[in-house]
Structure 1
Amino acid sequence: MYYIYIWFNIDTNEIFYVGLGTGDRRFQIRQRNNLFKKYYGQNKCAVRLIKSGLQEEDARKLERVLIEELNPCCNMTKGGERTNGKKISKSLTGKTHTDEHRMNVSDAIRKWHQEKIRNSKQIIVLDKDRNIIKTFEAKYLLGEWLHNEFRYGKHARSAQRMADKYFNNKALFDKRFYFENKC
């Protein structure tokens, strides 16, 4: 038996993914597309079961209908396909977003960044001789810099977590940097 589930943003209640599954599929994070993983990594998210006990064909039809109605931003296809784990090119989906939707997403991302900065302490990056190299308004910006400039971590958040261990102590990060919170 199959079920339909949705992933949604806890803060905004935005449904960003509609899926079909069996077993514990709805709880899995690793086997997701990059849009899903990025959204999930940047927001507080939860999963909700919509309907269970469905035959496969009924589940696939319902998935297609919900994706069409809700237009979730992280679904890569129109739903109902038997992909069996194969990656599907976004260019093949035929999905387009309205200008209003793009503007709303852009505004939400901008507000999210502004909130992160308001709730953060300034970060100072020092070289081995304790000279200031760079300053950041928030820790997440440090993670982006470390990842983009030096390829630390699989993504910006993992680079930030690597650096977190080195704040306000005497140890060098990768024999290159010291990090301090500016008070």
Structure 2
Amino acid sequence: MPYYRVTYYIYLHRRLDTGDVFYVGKGTKSQKHQYQRAYEKKRRSALWSRIVAKANYQVEIIAEFFAEEDCFAMERELIALYRRRYDGGTLCNLTLGGDGLSGLTPSEATKQKLREANSGEKHINWGKKLSEETRRKKSESMKNSDKNLRGKKLPEWWKDRIRATKFGEANPMFGRTGEQSKMSRKVMNFETGEIYASVTLAAKAIGMPMKTLYNRMVKDKKHGTSATVMRFVGEGRSNEFTPEHKKAISKARQGYVPSPEQVARHSRFMSGPSNPLRGRKRSKSFTEKVSRGNHPAAKKVIDLSTGVVYGCIKDAAKAVGVGSNTVSSWLNGKTPNPTSLSFITNDVQALDPPSHLDKIT
């Protein structure tokens, strides 16, 4: 099926008792409302309403257009053909056509007047509450409507309409390729330190298809391999980069701040089922390994007044009767230290060698 998007159409209203056309109209076709204006009875003239009150009528969609000007031209031709009642014809149209309001944007003053006229107590539904019966009927009507797609697959004609709105120049990413794309990522050659604005440019530089280079970089990141010398800026093992390369990466990422979308995506990943540590518990051996000062990063603490040595801040905090964060703040100089606790360093041991090293907790 060819990709197209028809946005304007011409319709006729024809009386069933006489067969005469009494109205020629032009409508705009949208993704949600296909021919809504052609079947509406609201926003019609008094003459149109009097005709409809006397006789039934049918709606005929006779033409569709890409350009609105072409649609207006046909509307004027049909009105001239059938002629208005004022001109001896059968139409109740008040104008000669071509004067539609599609695309008209009301001024802020007009918007404010409409807002004031329909807000608060002036609103038609102010203070009203739908009865349970009315709510039940509306619910049943929506469930049985053709527009209710819950649990259903979209029909092909619907898919074609969606596809048409995203095809070619209608696509917001049309023409935005390579470094112009908002999804573009910088790539660095960690052997030369050269940085490329996108994967495409990096692939051209080494004479490799873009998709091949991308797959190899993703594989290197996932498995820790070295299938290519290219890396996304900000990714890669630190031992693969020389100090010059690290400076180049730092300069490329200078001023980089994660976007709110990136932060939210990371938060969803860490809190969702994709988190690799979700649901996993530490083994007993691991817990014993990292507890009571056995962790490689643990710092021993000494009480200079008693000579007692603690394996970590947590043990010292328990002995003093305060939280471990409080003791950490004391020892790191963030807050005044009211105790004689101190980290064990070469300086501390040389200045005040403890005489009770046998009292190790």
TM tier, shorter chain? Answer: 0.3 to 0.5
What is the TM-score when the length of structure 1 is the normalising length? 0.44
Higher strand fraction: Structure 1 or Structure 2? Answer: 1
Q: Which structure is higher in RCO with an 8 Å CA cutoff and minimum separation 6?
A: 1
The structure whose Rg is larger is 2
